[in-house]
Homo-oligomer: A and B are copies of this chain.
Amino acid sequence: MSRGRAAGYEDQRELILRHAARLFAERGYPGTSMNEVAQACGLSKPALYHYFRDKYDLLVHIAESHIVRLRTLVTEVAAQGLAPEERLRGLIGRFVREYAQARYAHRVLTEDVKFLRPEDAERILGTERAVVAAFAGTIAELWPHVGQAQLAKPTTMLLFGMINWMFTWFRPDGGLDYEAMAPIVADLFCGGVPLVKAPPARKAPRQPARRARQAKAG
């Protein structure tokens, strides 16, 4: 216990993770070398290996700490005891803000998840599913017709699509910033979901569908 790690050990790890997240986001995980990470951090490559076991360790830490922060946001909003629509708007607002300040980690989570080993992917995607479920539950509560038509999860993913995709094209400028985008997304989503209809039963070319076909077919 005496001596312990150098004072800045955890700080150094955080700094490395920040630089690595930016580089992975900009060049992809396989397209980033450990030399590049070391250089960005002002460290030698061997020094890097003092803080992290290997390149893969960086990837897992970036993805996992980000998704855990998102789960924390969900828990915090759930604890506020808001009505469903305000809860959903609160979630959207917090997520947009979090993505804006952790945009590199978020891009790594969404684009480099394919490089995770099964055991890590399972754990991280499991946390992701819990986050999605919190949104889907609120959506099913707000719009029962969507929940009953099994559309709560697909609809939730359309919402995540709008938010996630923002960070691939949106550059804050004089007219619009991230904070301003959140209510636009929320208004569009909350205004549109009431109009979503369950799709007709899928066409079954040979045998008749379980439920009655449309008049034309009969």
Contacts and interface: CB of A to CB of B under 8 A. Distances in A.
Nearest to A113: B168
Interface residues of A, number: 49
A110 B168 contact: yes
A194 interface: yes
Contacts of A194: 191
A29 interface: yes
Interface stretch (A1-9, A36-44, A173-181): A173-181
A211 B35 CA distance: 50
Interface stretch (A45-53, A57-65, A150-158): A150-158
A206 interface: no
A75 B123 CA distance: 45
A26 B30 CA distance: 12
Nearest to A158: B162
A158 B158 CA distance: 9
A216 interface: no
Interface of A is mostly: helix
Interface stretch (A14-22, A66-74, A84-92, A195-203): A195-203
Query: Max chain B CB contacts within 10 Å: which of A162, A163, A177?
Result: A162
A171 B202 CA distance: 15
Nearest to A163: B161
A174 B193 CA distance: 22
The 7 closest A-B pairs by CB, nearest first: A161-B165, A192-B192, A191-B195, A30-B31, A188-B192, A180-B199, A191-B192
